[in-house]
């Protein structure tokens, strides 16, 4: 019989789980990973990666219909939705297979099945693995990492039904592009789908319960983005709720309430994007000291739960619920278990956030309001893309960069961007924050010309009254 005793067992093979397993193996731990579905988890298979493949297709579709601004023309431009979806699925499969290769390369033992704690950790850290009701293996380890992720939240009366009311999963594999669509929720997921379907030709309406779209972003960026979306033809209702859905044979009638008034629209499909729920069920948390708060496991700065030897990372724990945050938590957790001396708790203020709509949104650190509310005397800088030569040359003059500095110390408190490729650019500010760079160092940094990154430099200069090109 195979030896099923390990130094570490990771439950869940998403970005947090597989990275934790690889890092553990690098540190010499005998490691097992249990995944009930596909390696790579939601992110690689149904989230981060395939959605970007779809958004790339919609970007191409948009450009093909605006070729005249570059001196080109094309007739009878069409697309095959089945091929668009097939490419997205192929990209996801390629990366999921890549994770399998990484597991083999790092000698991580992978078990295909549903994992469940078989009693408190004091009894030896036992994990029972089963598949389709049949036992697969009984594992044992002194350290267990929960990385079971999360799933889409539902709302009473708005429950998804696969055909007419979709979650992100159905929205990624439509049989055809609907002519009209209602998106409930304007966070990153909702806005990305709204952007994709609008650029693919659908009439799109977005309903957001809060007073602005992309509500976690800086208010100025949110307002800028809304104007851009509405210019594209997306209809947006903020401070609004969907009170009821009436499902027909091949459409949905929705009642929207805002400001005490109701309106009715009929669309072919509805996408629910109203948050996530942690996967805490059927993991075996009963009888342990694990605390669960609103479906998410409570952990300390080292990702330890209340049960000694049991850890939790990723979407299963607190916000922000981002793949790159999960990956870093996996590394921090495992390195702390290994007793490394140079491990530092995760500073959420240094985690960048990206939304891959058109125009893209990216940010790191405090918004202007959050900084003022925290008592900082702030210096604010702005720079528009219309003042940047590369953005104009690309035909992408719609955008803005905003910086937030501590007026007393020069610390970069936050950076907020909207425009072409800002999801690639934000890492410059993220590095600056991680290195605790001041405004003086950023101003003395040489940015290459011509690049969109020059807008980042100018936004720093502007905070101190030194902008050159605007």
Other beta carbons less than 10 A from residue 185's beta carbon? 26
Q: Is the pLDDT of residue 45 over 60?
A: yes
The percentage of residues in the chain with a pLDDT greater than 90, rounded to a whole number, is 96
**Domain ranges (residues) in the chain:** 8-151+277-338, 154-274, 359-463
Residues 207, 213: Cα–Cα separation, whole Å? 9
Residues 250, 231: Cα–Cα separation, whole Å? 29
In this prediction, residue 123 carries a pLDDT of 83
pLDDT digits (tens, 9 = 90+) for 251-292: 999 999 998 999 999 999 999 999 999 999 999 999 899 999
- Pairing state between β 203-208 and 180-184: parallel
CA-angle at 141, arms to 135 and 142, nearest 5°: 145
pLDDT category of residue 1 using cuts at 50, 70 and 90: very low
- Look up residue 143 and give its DSSP letter: E
CA distances from 123 to 69, 168, 309, 397 (A): 69, 40, 11, 62
Q: Is the pLDDT of residue 386 over 50?
A: yes
pLDDT digits (tens, 9 = 90+) for 199-251: 999 999 999 999 999 999 999 999 999 999 999 999 999 999 999 999 999 99
**Cross-strand partners of 414:** 365, 404
Full DSSP string of 82-118:
HHHHHHHHHHHHHHHHHHHHHHHHTT-EEEESEEEE-
154-274 and 359-463 share one fold: no
**Cross-strand partners of 415:** 364, 403
> What's the residue count for the chain?
470
Is 449 labeled as catalytic in the residue annotation?
Answer: yes
Residues 167, 149: Cα–Cα separation, whole Å? 16
Other beta carbons less than 10 A from residue 195's beta carbon? 28
Q: Which CATH architecture has domain 8-151+277-338?
A: 3-Layer(bba) Sandwich (3.50)
Residues 364, 354: Cα–Cα separation, whole Å? 9
Would you identify the CATH topology of the domain 359-463?
Enolase-like; domain 1 (3.30.390)
Q: Which of 237, 328, 449, 457 is catalytic?
A: 449
Q: Is the pLDDT of residue 373 over 80?
A: yes
Would you identify the CATH topology of the domain 154-274?
FAD/NAD(P)-binding domain (3.50.50)
CB 88 within 8 A of CB 172: yes
pLDDT category of residue 2 using cuts at 50, 70 and 90: low
What does pLDDT average to over the chain? 96
Tell me which residue has tokens 């496991």. 297
In this prediction, residue 3 carries a pLDDT of 78
pLDDT digits (tens, 9 = 90+) for 423-450: 999 999 999 999 999 999 999 999 999 9
At residue 347, φ and ψ (nearest 5 deg) are -100, 105
In this prediction, residue 120 carries a pLDDT of 86
Residues 210, 265: Cα–Cα separation, whole Å? 20
pLDDT (average), residues 93-99: 95
Full DSSP string of 328-341:
HHHHHHHHHHHT-T
pLDDT digits (tens, 9 = 90+) for 24-44: 999 999 999 999 999 999 999
Selection from 450, 325, 301 nearest residue 387 by Cα: 450
Q: Which of 113-122, 191-200, 323-332 has the lowest mean pLDDT?
A: 113-122
């Amino acid at each position: 019989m195979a030896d099923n005793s390990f130094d570490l067992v990771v439950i869940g093979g998403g970005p947090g789980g597989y990275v934790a397993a690889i890092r553990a193996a690098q540190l010499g731990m005998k490691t097992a990973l249990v995944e009930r579905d596909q390696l790579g988890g939601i992110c690689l298979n149904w989230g981060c990666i395939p959605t970007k493949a779809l958004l790339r297709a919609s970007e191409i579709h948009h450009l093909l219909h605006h070729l005249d601004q570059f001196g080109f023309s094309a007739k009878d431009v069409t697309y095959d939705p089945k091929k668009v979806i097939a490419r997205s699925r192929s990209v996801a499969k390629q990366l999921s297979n890549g994770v399998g290769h990484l597991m083999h390369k790092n000698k991580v033992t992978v078990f295909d099945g549903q994992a469940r704690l078989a009693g408190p950790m004091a009894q030896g850290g036992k994990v029972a693995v089963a598949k389709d009701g049949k036992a697969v293996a009984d594992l044992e380890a002194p350290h267990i990492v929960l990385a079971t992720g999360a799933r889409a939240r539902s709302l009473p009366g708005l429950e998804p039904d696969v055909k007419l009311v979709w979650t992100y999963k159905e929205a990624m594999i439509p049989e055809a592009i609907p002519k009209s669509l209602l998106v409930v929720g304007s966070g990153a997921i909702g806005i990305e789908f709204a952007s994709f379907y609008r650029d693919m030709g659908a009439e799109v309406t977005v309903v957001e319960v809060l007073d602005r779209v992309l509500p976690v972003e800086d208010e100025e960026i949110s307002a800028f983005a809304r104007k851009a979306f509405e210019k594209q033809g997306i209809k947006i209702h903020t401070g609004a709720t969907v009170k009821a859905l009436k499902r027909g044979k091949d459409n949905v009638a929705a009642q929207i309430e805002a400001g005490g008034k109701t309106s009715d629209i009929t669309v072919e499909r509805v996408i629910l994007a109203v948050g996530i729920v942690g996967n805490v069920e059927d993991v075996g948390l009963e009888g342990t000291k694990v605390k669960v708060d609103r479906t998410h496991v409570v952990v300390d700065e080292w990702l330890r739960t209340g049960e000694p030897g049991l850890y939790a990372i990723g979407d299963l724990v607190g916000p922000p619920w981002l793949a790159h945050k999960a990956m870093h938590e996996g590394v921090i957790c495992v390195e702390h278990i290994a007793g490394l001396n140079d491990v530092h708790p995760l500073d959420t203020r240094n985690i960048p956030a990206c939304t891959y709509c058109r125009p893209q949104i990216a940010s790191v650190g405090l918004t202007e309001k959050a900084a003022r509310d925290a008592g900082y005397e702030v210096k604010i800088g702005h720079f528009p893309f219309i003042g940047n030569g590369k953005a104009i040359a690309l035909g992408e003059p719609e955008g803005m960069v905003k910086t937030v500095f501590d007026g007393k110390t020069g610390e970069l408190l936050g950076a907020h961007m909207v425009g072409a490729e800002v999801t690639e650019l934000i890492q410059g500010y993220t590095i600056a924050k991680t290195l605790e760079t001041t405004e003086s160092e950023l101003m003395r940094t040489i940015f290459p010309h011509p690049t969109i990154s020059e807008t980042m430099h100018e936004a720093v200069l502007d905070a101190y009254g030194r902008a050159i090109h605007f």
